[in-house]
Structure 1
Amino acid sequence: MQQMNPSTIPMQPSYPGTTLPREESYIENILRLNRGKPGVFHFSFNNTGAADNKISVRGVVEAAGRDHVILRDLKSDHRYLFPMIYFDYAEFDEELNYFPQTT
């Protein structure tokens, strides 16, 4: 198999100030664009069988990957690592950064 020279690999256009491709508006990329913005993050764990299978964290995103998010609780400074499969939604206190929309 022939290897490509990294300088010849076509680059995707990126959002100013990030290395994220514009087309990839996945949740983890949106969370990365909004690191440090306060919000409430909701998770549910339907496969646990427990009556209390939901958690909400008021905090900020410290990091986000394809399958996880790291949150810092604003009051306790406690950090959480959640798998994205349990993520339901987030509510932010301010306007979100998002990829430019084209028509």
Structure 2
Amino acid sequence: MVQYYWYPGGYPQQQQQMTPPNVQLPAARRQEESYIENILRMNKGKLGTFYFTFEHSKEHNSIVITGYVEAAGRDHVILSDPNGKRYLMLMIYFDYATFDEEINYNL
């Protein structure tokens, strides 16, 4: 890709955009980064207790869900309780989670 820049003298300067060579990252760098959704994804299927707070709600200021991690994305988590009821919760309301077993965290 060629880009032209105009300088005060009025003459265009041509600048080539360099494409870096394909570099393989070390194995440790290829793993997922330490974000909440990645940690939850690594613990899919585990039973945990999840705490959420809704700051601007008069009726339900906070909620606690005991359930299994089914899926997690950048802005949401899907949980299912032991009775099979599923919850789609937004991560902006997520406070923390507790697990009764070891948490997978191999970053």
User: TM-score, normalization: structure 2?
Assistant: 0.71
Higher RCO, Cα 8 Å, sep 6+: 1
User: TM-score, normalization: structure 1?
Assistant: 0.74
- Consecutive unaligned residues in structure 1, runs of 5 or more: none
Aligned to 1:36: 45
Aligned residues: 89
Alpha-carbon offset, residue 99 of structure 1: 2.0
Aligned to 1:90: 97
Q: C-alpha deviations, 1:46-80, integer Å up to 9, x for none? A: 022x1431111110110000110000011x21100
Alpha-carbon offset, residue 10 of structure 1: 3.9
Q: C-alpha deviations, 1:9-62, integer Å up to 9, x for none? A: 7456369xxx842xx1011000001011111001010022x1431111110110
Which structure features the higher share of strand residues? 2
- Consecutive unaligned residues in structure 2, runs of 5 or more: 2-16
RMSD of aligned residue pairs (Cα, Å): 2.3
Aligned to 1:26: 35
Aligned to 2:73: 65
Determine helix, strand or coil for the equivalent of 2:77.
strand
